[in-house]
Amino acid sequence: MDIFLNAIFSVAYLKGAGISVALATLCQVLAVILGFFLTLMRVSKNKILSAISGIYIWFFRAIPALLLLMIFWFSIPEIFPLFRQHWYSPFIAAMLGFAVLEAAYMAEILRAALISVDEGQPLAARALGMTPSQVMRKVTLPQLIRIAIPPTANEYIGMIKYTSLATVISLQELLTTAGNGVNKTFRYSEYYAAAGVYYLLMVSILMFVQSRIERKFAWISITSKESQKAKR
């Protein structure tokens, strides 16, 4: 029990969890941005752009995350000298690998969200004289975001757990930290349980944040928000 508590309150665990969250957050943000452009390409009238995006999505949905991690850490520096330098750390490699992979999934989520925005919405916006980019920014995007929040939050939570895969390229994230403790003492349960507690905690915080964001996107006036609260 002491080992378990010591692990939970140790700097190493906190740091490991910090690395996991930082890595997952950066990956997810990059993946959302890249995925959004992939979606725009996918639905564009330009057949070449659409095909490139389609091939990208097909390819990265097929490749296992672990394999991609290996490729980014071992193969890419072998092929490109640029990636043999000091800055290319396990963190950067994991970030790029996961982001590139996750972008394919985000592209699918965002495309589904885009399709489910009622086509009367851009039509009404265009009828008011908005330009295509205004239609996208002011009308389509807010509605797309609302639809995409739950599946994206799901991906983000998955990403927190995926970061544990980076233990194979010896990134000092949470699971590697737990492994270090195990290797020194051969006390499996305590160290792994402590890691489990951290994952539970991280995901709980994310779920809380998600529900706050979803409430922001309820699209009801303050008065009726209050009356709904009152009903509860």
Partner 1 sequence: MNLVEVHKLHKHYGSNHILKGVNLDVKMGDVKAILGPSGSGKSTLLRLIALLEPIDQGSIRVDGIVLARNEDGHRKRHHEKDLAILRRGIGMVFQKFNLFPHLNAIDNVALALTTVKKIDHRNALDRSAEMLKRVGLSDRMSFFPSELSGGQQQRVAIARALVLEPKLMLFDEPTSALDPELVREVLNVIEQLAADGMTMLIVTHEVGFARKIANEVVMFDEGEIVETGTPEEIFTNAQHPRTRKFLEHVL
Instruction: Report the site for partner 1 in 105-164 (rule: CB under 8 A).
Output: 118, 120-121, 123-132, 134, 138-139, 142-143, 146
CB 172 within 8 A of CB 15: yes
User: Which CB sits closer to partner 1, 6 or 121?
Assistant: 121
Q: How far is the CB of 184 from partner 1 (least distance, A)?
A: 54
Site string for partner 1, 189-218 (x = CB under 8 A): ----------------------------x-
Shortest Å, Cβ 46 to partner 1 = 15
Phi-psi region of 129 (alpha: psi -120 to 50; beta: other; left: phi over 0): left
Q: Examine residue 22 and tell whether it contacts partner 1 (CB under 8 A).
A: no
Rounded to whole angstroms, the Cα distance separating 147 from 118 reads 12
Q: Does 224 bind partner 1 (CB under 8 A)?
A: yes
Distance CA 100, CA 30 (A): 8
| Whole-Å CA distances, 72 to 37, 99, 168 | 22, 11, 12
220 forms part of the interface with partner 1 (CB under 8 A): yes
**Which residues neighbour 134 within 8 Å (Cβ) at sequence distance 6 or greater?**
125
Tokens of 193: 């349980």
Binding site for partner 1 (CB under 8 A): 118, 120-121, 123-132, 134, 138-139, 142-143, 146, 217, 219-224
